[in-house]
Amino acid sequence: MPFTPLVPRNAPPALAPYSAGVRAGSTIYVSGILPVGPDGSCVGEGDITAQTRYVLETVQAVLEAGGATLGDVAMNQIFLKDLKDYAAMNAVYKEFFPENPPARYCIRADLVKPEFLVEIASTAHL
C-alpha cells in the first residue's frame, strides 16, 4: 500500500532519514517525536513538563497534517530518559488525552541526545 509522508508546519529538521509521520490508507503513523524546535535546538531543556507538552503538540501537528486529531490515536509509545519523570509526564499527557485515552506503554530508554527527556510515537486510525 502506498503511503504519504506528513510534514507539519514549523517541522524541526530530521535527525535521521525519516518522515515525521506517514498516512497509509486510514492509518497514520507518527514517528518518535523528540523535543526538537524548528531551529534544531532542544525545547525545554531539563524540564519534562515543557518537553512533554512540546512533543504532544508536535504529535498533534503531524496528525493534523494527515487529517486526524488526537482523538483518532489508538496507541502511544512513550520513552522516558528517567522514570522519575513518569508522574510529571502523565500530568501533561492527561491534558491531551482527558477521556478515553488510547492504549500505550511507557519505558525507560536512552534517547538520541542527553538533553532529551521524552519521546512519543503514535498510531492513529481514521
Catalytically annotated residues:
106
The pLDDT tens digits along the chain (126 residues) read 789 999 888 777 777 889 999 999 999 999 999 999 999 999 999 999 999 999 999 999 999 999 999 999 999 999 999 999 999 999 999 999 999 999 999 999 999 999 999 999 999 999
**Residue boundaries of the structural domains of the chain:** 4-125
Architecture of domain 4-125: 2-Layer Sandwich (3.30)
State how far the Cα of 84 lies from the Cα of 103, in Å rounded to an integer. Answer: 21
